[in-house]
Amino acid sequence: MNSLRFNLLKEALGRKAVPVTSENRPADEFAKYVFNRETMQKYLSKYTYKTLTDSIDKSLPLNRDIADGVATGMKQWAVSMGATHYTHWFQPLTGGTAEKHDAFVEISEIGGVIEEFSGKLLVQQEPDASSFPNGGLRNTFEARGYSAWDPSSPAFVMGDTLCIPTVFISYTGEALDYKTPLLRSINALNKSATAVCNYFDANVSKVISYLGWEQEYFLVDDALYNARPDLSLTGRTLMGHESAKNQQLEDHYFGSIPTRVLAFMTDLENEALKLGVPVKTRHNEVAPNQFELAPIYEELNLANDHNLLIMSLMKKIARRHNFRVLLHEKPFKGVNGSGKHNNWSMGTDTGVNLFSPGKNDVENLQFITFLVNTMMAVYKHNGLLKASISSANNAHRLGANEAPPAIISIFLGKQVSEVLDKLEQVNTDDVIHFDGKTAIRLGVAHLPEVLLDNTDRNRTSPFAFTGNRFEFRAVGSSANCAEAMLTLNTAVANQLSVFKLEVDALIEDGMPKEKAIVTVIKSLIAKCRAISFEGNGYSEEWKAEAQKRGLDCETSVPLIFDNQLKPESLAIFENCGVLSREEIESRCEVKWEMYTKKIQIESRVLGDLAMNHIVPVASGYQSVLLDNVSKINALFSKEEAAAMASQDKIIIKAISDHIGFIIEKVAEMTEARKQANALASEREKAIAYHDTIVPLTESIRTHIDKLELIVDDRMWTLPKYRELLFIR
Ligand code: ADP
Ligand code: MG
C-alpha cells in the first residue's frame, strides 16, 4: 500500500479515547465563565447593576454614565477567572465569529505599563476591519468599522480571554454583521406581535422570540483529514467514490455512540455548560460519523450567540480528541448532509407561548391568529426565506433527495389543517364575544390534547409546525442562524402589522373585535393555502404542483439571491427598520461574492488534485499494466497473449479515456474561470460560476471517482470514503 496513506490509517485505527479533562459536570459549574446577572450583582455597584439590567430588559441603549462602572467590574471578574486579554466578539458576514484580542494593559502617561480596561473600550472599539466583506458599504480607505457591546448577551471568558459580544457597524451606521439586523428584527417582531396580543390580553407588554437549534456535524480522524487537501481547504470532499456500505442499513441513527466520540461529546458539553450553553441532547445522525447536539431553547439573540460559540468550541475540542469537526452542509457525496433545524417560537412576558393552543377560546383564537399570520408571512416571502438559507454549501442539500427541498412549504399536521379548514368555512355571524364561557363554535377549543399527539412529523418539510413551535429545517449546518431568523422575524412582524391594520379598519367600521379578527383570519387562510403541503416534499409531483401554486422553485443559488432585491422584500425590511436598501444591496453583493469565492476555491483545489494526485497515480498504475502486457507478449504466442492481456488492455484503455477527459476538462475549467473572473458584476460572476464551473467540477469528479475504482488500492494516495466515514 502507498506508505503515507497506510501510516495514516494505522495512526487513525490505533487511537484510543482521550480521557475527558474535567471528569464531572456538577450543576454549580453551569455558567461559571459567564458574566451573568448573578455575577454582575457581586461585581457591580447596586446603582450600576440596576441601570444596566433595566436597559437590558427594556432594550434601551447602554447608558454611557455607567460604562466605566460596568467595565471595572467586568474586568475584575474576568481577571479572577484567569483572563489576561479581552476581545470584542462579533459576527461578520463571512460566517462564524471574529475576534481581535487586546491585552488589558495600556501605556500610562508617564510611560509605564498599567492594567486598563475602561468603559470606552467596553462600549466601542474600532477594529481595523477593512478586510471584512461589506459589499461596497465601506471603502477600504475608510477602514473604520465600529464594534459595540450588546448588553443583552452576557460577556464570557474563554481560555485567557474576556469575550464581549458586540454588534459591528460601519462608520456611517450601517450593519456589517448579523447581530445588528437580528436585534432590530427582534424589536420589530416584539412591537407588532405585542400590538396583536393586546387584542386578547391588555397585560402583554413584550413578545420575546425564541430559538432552539439542533446542530448536525461530522467527525473525521485528524490524520485522515490532513491527508485530504480538499477537506482541509474547502471543508468537503471534492472527490471520492461512495463506500460500498454507507447509510443504507440506517444502523448509525440512534446507534450507540462510539467511545472516542463520546469522550469528545462529554468534553464539549462540560465546556459548553461552563459557558452557560444549556446543552441537552446528543445523538448519532443518519450518516456514518454524523452527530447532533441540541441545547434547551433560549431567547433568540442569546441562542444564536450560543450556537456560534458552540461551533467554535467544537472545532477546538475536537482537536484535543484528534478529530476534526466538519460543519460543512455536504462533506460527502451520497450520504446525508448536515443541517441546523431552527426551532422558532414567540412568547409573551405573561408566559404564554403564542404557538401553543391555549386553555380557552380566547387563547385558542390568539394561537390561530399567530399561526395563520406566520403562514401568510412564509407564503408571501417564501422566495426570500429560501434566499436566507441559500449558499454554495447548502445548495448540495437543497433539492437533492434529502431534507430540505428547494421549495419552501409548511407542514401543519392533520389536526391543525382540519381546524383551518373548519375555520375557513365558519360563518362569522356565529362568532360571539370572548366571555370565557361560550365556545366560538370553531372547534378550536378542543385543540390542546390533540396537538400533543401531533408527532407524525413530516421529515420532508422545510418548515414544519411541531406542536408549540415552527421548525425551520432548511438552515445550513455551517450557517449563522441569524440570517434565517431575522428574515422570518421581519416577514412575520410585517404581516402582523398588516393584519392589525385590517382588523382595526373593520373595527372602525363598527364590527365587533372578535368578528373582525375571525373575518381577517378567514381571508388569510384562503390566500395562503398554497404554502401548506402535507405530502412528500422530495417527490417529483410536488415540484410540478409547487410550480402550479406559484411558489418559488428556482434552484440556482445566485438567482435565488435576487429575491432579496424584490420590491416586496425591500419593503418589509425597510418598514420594520431591520435593513435599509443600501444594507440589503451590499449584503446581496457579499452573498454573490462569497458564492463565487467558494466555487472558485473548490474548482482550483479540484484542478490541482486532479493534475498532481489523480492523473499521476492513474498513469502510474497504467504503466504497470502496460509493462505486464509487454511481458505477456514477449513470453507467449500471439493468440495466447491476446487472450491473457485482454482484461489489462480494457483497463489501460479505460484509464486513458478517464485521464484524457480529466485533463481536457481541467483546462476547460481554468479557461471558464478566467472568463467568469473577467465579469464586472458580482451577480453575473456568481451566475457564471454556477452555470459553467459547477457542472465542470461535477463531471471531472465523476471520472476521478471511476478511476478510484480501477486503480490499485496500494497506489491510491487519498484516504477513501470507507476510511473517512467509518474510522473513529
Ligand atoms: P426533535 O425531535 O426535533 O429533535 P428536540 O426535542 O430535540 O426535537 O427539540 C428540538 C429543539 O427545540 C430543542 O432545542 C428544544 O429546546 C427546542 N424547543 C422546544 N420547544 C420550543 C419552543 N417552544 N420554542 C423554541 N424551541 C423549542
Ligand atoms: Mg428537530
What is the model's pLDDT at position 56?
86
Each residue's pLDDT tens digit, 61-72 = 777 788 889 999
Q: Which of the four pLDDT bands, split at 50, 70 and 90, describes residue 705?
A: very high
**Are the C-beta atoms of residues 198 and 606 closer than 8 Å to each other?**
no
What is the model's pLDDT at position 142?
47
Question: First-to-last CA distance in the chain?
Answer: 21
What is the model's pLDDT at position 401?
57
What is the model's pLDDT at position 404?
64
Q: Which ligand is nearest to the CA of 306?
A: 1
For the CA of 296, the closest atom of ligand 1 is: 16
Q: Which ligand is nearest to the CA of 294?
A: 1
Nearest CA to ligand 1 atom 11: 212
Q: Are strands 290-295 and 279-284 parallel, antiparallel or unpaired?
A: antiparallel
Q: What is the mean pLDDT of residues 668-695?
A: 97
471 Cα to the center of ligand 2, angstroms: 7
* Integer-rounded Cα radius of gyration of the chain: 29
Share of the chain above pLDDT 70, in %: 88
Q: Which ligand is nearest to the CA of 353?
A: 1
Query: Helix, strand or coil for residue 698?
Result: helix
pLDDT(452) > 70: no
Cis peptide before 404 (omega within 30 of 0): yes
pLDDT(473) > 70: yes
Q: Which ligand is nearest to the CA of 339?
A: 2
Stated as kind and residue range, the H or E segment containing 543 is helix 540-549
Nearest CA to ligand 1 atom 24: 345
Most confident of 126-135, 444-453, 667-676: 667-676
Each residue's pLDDT tens digit, 99-151 = 877 777 665 566 655 566 777 777 776 665 556 666 666 454 444 677 888 88
Mean residue pLDDT across the chain: 88
Which of residues 670 and 402 earns the better pLDDT score?
A: 670
One-character DSSP codes across 169-236: EETTS-B-BSHHHHHHHHHHHHHHHHHHHHHH-TT---EEEEEEEEEEEEEEEHHHHHT-HHHHHHSS
Each residue's pLDDT tens digit, 607-654 = 999 999 999 999 999 999 999 999 999 999 999 999 999 999 999 999
What is the model's pLDDT at position 236?
97
What is the model's pLDDT at position 226?
93
Within 610-720, residue ranges assigned H as helices are: 615-635, 638-644, 646-677, 682-688, 694-710
Best residue among 297, 307, 451, 452 to mutate for probing ligand 1's pocket (most ligand atoms within 8 Å of CB) is 297
What is the model's pLDDT at position 2?
62
What is the model's pLDDT at position 447?
46
Each residue's pLDDT tens digit, 6-15 = 888 888 888 8
Q: Rounded to whole angstroms, how far apart are CA atoms 176 and 133?
A: 8
Each residue's pLDDT tens digit, 549-582 = 999 999 999 999 999 999 999 999 999 999 999 9
Which of residues 125 and 307 earns the better pLDDT score?
A: 307
For the CA of 355, the closest atom of ligand 1 is: 23
353 lines ligand 1 (CB under 6 A): yes
In terms of C-beta density within 10 A (0-12 exposed, 13-18 middle, 19 or more buried), how is residue 550 classed?
A: exposed
pLDDT(724) > 80: yes
Calculate helix-pair angle for 179-200, 481-508, nearest 10 degrees: 30
What is the model's pLDDT at position 73?
94
331 lines ligand 1 (CB under 6 A): no
All structural domains of the chain: 31-177 (3.10.20.70), 187-579 (3.30.590.10), 594-724 (1.20.120.1560)
281 lines ligand 1 (CB under 6 A): yes
Q: Phi, psi at residue 100, to the nearest 5°?
A: -130, 115
What is the model's pLDDT at position 563?
98
58 Cα to the center of ligand 1, angstroms: 27
What is the model's pLDDT at position 696?
98
Best residue among 286, 304, 310, 343 to mutate for probing ligand 1's pocket (most ligand atoms within 8 Å of CB) is 343
C-alpha cell at 199: 387584542
Q: What is the mean pLDDT of residues 26-39?
A: 88
Stated as kind and residue range, the H or E segment containing 279 is strand 279-284
pLDDT(449) > 60: no
For the CA of 353, the closest atom of ligand 1 is: 23
Q: Which of 216-220, 306-310, 357-361, 372-376 has the lowest mean pLDDT?
A: 357-361
Nearest of 148, 147, 129 to residue 139 by alpha carbon: 129
472 lines ligand 1 (CB under 6 A): no
Q: Which of 93-102, 443-452, 501-510 has the lowest mean pLDDT?
A: 443-452
Q: What is the dihedral of CA 521, 525, 528, 532, to 10 degrees?
A: 130
Q: What is the mean pLDDT of residues 343-347?
A: 98
What is the model's pLDDT at position 455?
47
Q: Which ligand is nearest to the CA of 212?
A: 1
What is the model's pLDDT at position 703?
98
297 Cα to the center of ligand 1, angstroms: 6
297 lines ligand 1 (CB under 6 A): yes
Each residue's pLDDT tens digit, 156-174 = 999 999 999 999 888 778 8
Nearest of 441, 444, 338, 345 to residue 393 by alpha carbon: 338
What is the model's pLDDT at position 252?
63
337 Cα to the center of ligand 2, angstroms: 15
Q: Rounded to whole angstroms, how far apart are CA atoms 136 and 561?
A: 17
Q: What is the mean pLDDT of residues 430-437?
A: 52
What is the model's pLDDT at position 79?
92
Share of the chain above pLDDT 90, in %: 67
For the CA of 294, the closest atom of ligand 1 is: 14
249 lines ligand 1 (CB under 6 A): no
Q: How big is the CA angle at 90 (ends 84 and 96), to the nearest 5 degrees?
A: 110
What is the model's pLDDT at position 471?
95
Each residue's pLDDT tens digit, 373-409 = 999 999 999 999 999 999 999 999 886 656 567 899 9
709 Cα to the center of ligand 2, angstroms: 37
For the CA of 344, the closest atom of ligand 1 is: 25
266 lines ligand 1 (CB under 6 A): no
Nearest CA to ligand 1 atom 17: 212
For the CA of 297, the closest atom of ligand 1 is: 16
180 Cα to the center of ligand 2, angstroms: 27
Which of residues 726 and 184 earns the better pLDDT score?
A: 184
